Amino acid sequence: MDKFAKIYVAGHKGLVGSAIWANLESKGYANLIGRSIDELDLMDAAATRRFFDVERPEYVILAAARVGGIAANNTYRADFIYDNLQIQQNVIGESFRHDVKKLLFLGSTCIYPKNAPQPMKENALLTGELEYTNEPYAIAKIAGLKMCESFNLQHGTNYIAVMPTNLYGPRDNFHLKNSHVIPGIMRKIHLSKLLMDSDFANIRKDFASRPVDGIDNCATDNELISALATYGIYGDSVSLWGTGNAMREFLWSEDMADACVHILERVNFKDIAAQTSASNNEVRNCHINIGTGKEITIRELAQAIARIAGYAGEIKFDTSKLDGTMRKLTDVSKLHSFGWRHSVELKTGLSHMYEWYCEVEKTIYSKEN
C-alpha cells in the first residue's frame, strides 16, 4: 500500500481500532480517516453513504462493532445482532459501491461451535451449535465474514475477514457489568485492594474516572461499599463469574493490530482462496484466525492479575453464574503461514495493562479536579 493512500478506520476510538490506527501511523501511513460515533453513526445508511461519497477511502478497516462480555452479550441479545448487522451492511455495501481497493473485516472467535475440536481451525465454522450466551453476536459476525467472502467470489473484490481471539490492552472497557474478562477482573481486584486498605480517596478517583451505576466520587463511604458489593467486590475478597475452570486465549491488542496491518499489506483474497478451495471447487472458510495458540484458565488468569496488582484477598467463584464456552483455543497455523506470530506474552501484557489502568485513572481524576 502507498503510504499516502486514504485509509478509513471504522471504530478508531475503540480498543481494536485505536491500536490499528497507532500501528498504521508507526509504519508511516499519513492519510488516515476516522470518525467518532458522534460524528458518524454507521447504523445510519444515508449518513454512511454521504461519508463515503465525500471521503472516497481507498482502504477500509471495519473495527466498529457493538461488543461486550458474557453478561452484556446474554442480556442485550437483540442489540448485539441488530447493531452489528446494520454496521456491517452499511460499511461493506458502501465499500463495494465506492470501489474500495481492499477491506479488512474484524470478527471474533466466538463464531465457532461451542464444542468445536481444539484448537479451532477455520474450517470448524458452521459445523455445530453455537454457544448460547453469545449466539446473536456470533451470527452477526458470521454474516459479515460470509458477506466479504461472497462479494469476493461474485465481484472479484479483495475483502479479508480476520477473527481475533480475546483481546486486551490500553483503552479497554473496564465497566464492571459490560466489560470483557480481563478488564473486568482487573478492576474488581484493584478496587478490592483499595477497599481492603480503606483507601476511599483512591476508590473515589476510580469512580470519578469510570462512574458505576450513577455512583461517582461524591458518594459517601457507605454508598461506595454498597455499590462495590453489588459487583462482588469486598474488603477481603472478590467474586467472579463461573467455576474458574473455563479456558481462554488472550492476545495483546497491539499484537492484534500488527497482525491486521501485516495482513492488509501482504495478504490478498486470492492467496487465502488458493489454500481453502476444495476438490469440488467450493471456496469457503477464507477468514484468518488471529491469536497466540496458548490458553489459560480463568482461575489462573485471576491469580496472575492478583499477583501483578499486589492483591492479598481471596478470589471466589460464583458457580451460579455462566462459564460460557469452556474452551476457545485458536489454531493459528494459517496466520503463521502468512509470516506473522505474536510477540507479547500474557504476563508481560497484563503488567503493561495494569500500569496503564492506574496511570489513566490518575490522569483523568487530576484533569477533573
Q: Which residues are catalytic?
A: 137
Q: SS3 helix, strand, coil % of the chain, rounded to 5?
A: 50, 15, 40
Residues 6+ apart with CB under 8 A from 102: 1, 59, 60, 158, 159, 160, 264, 268
Distance CA 200, CA 191 (A): 10
d(CA 144, CA 106) in angstroms, rounded, equals 9
**Cross-strand pairs, 240:** 317
Residues 136, 138: Cα–Cα separation, whole Å: 5
How buried is 97 (Cβ within 10 angstroms: 0-12 exposed, 13-18 middle, 19+ buried)? Answer: exposed
- DSSP state letters, 294-337: --EEHHHHHHHHHHHHT--SEEEEETTS----S--PBP-HHHHH
Determine which helix (DSSP H) or strand (DSSP E) holds 46, and give its type and residue range: helix 45-55
* Residues 192, 235 contacting (CB under 8 angstroms): yes
Please state, in angstroms and rounded to a whole number, the distance separating the CA atoms of residues 339 and 327: 26
Separation of CA 345 from chain center: 17
> Minimal CA–CA distance to 133: which of 348, 325, 363?
325
Short-list 284, 102, 125, 310, CA closest to 199: 310
Q: Check if the beta carbon of residue 108 is closer than 8 Å to that of residue 95.
A: no
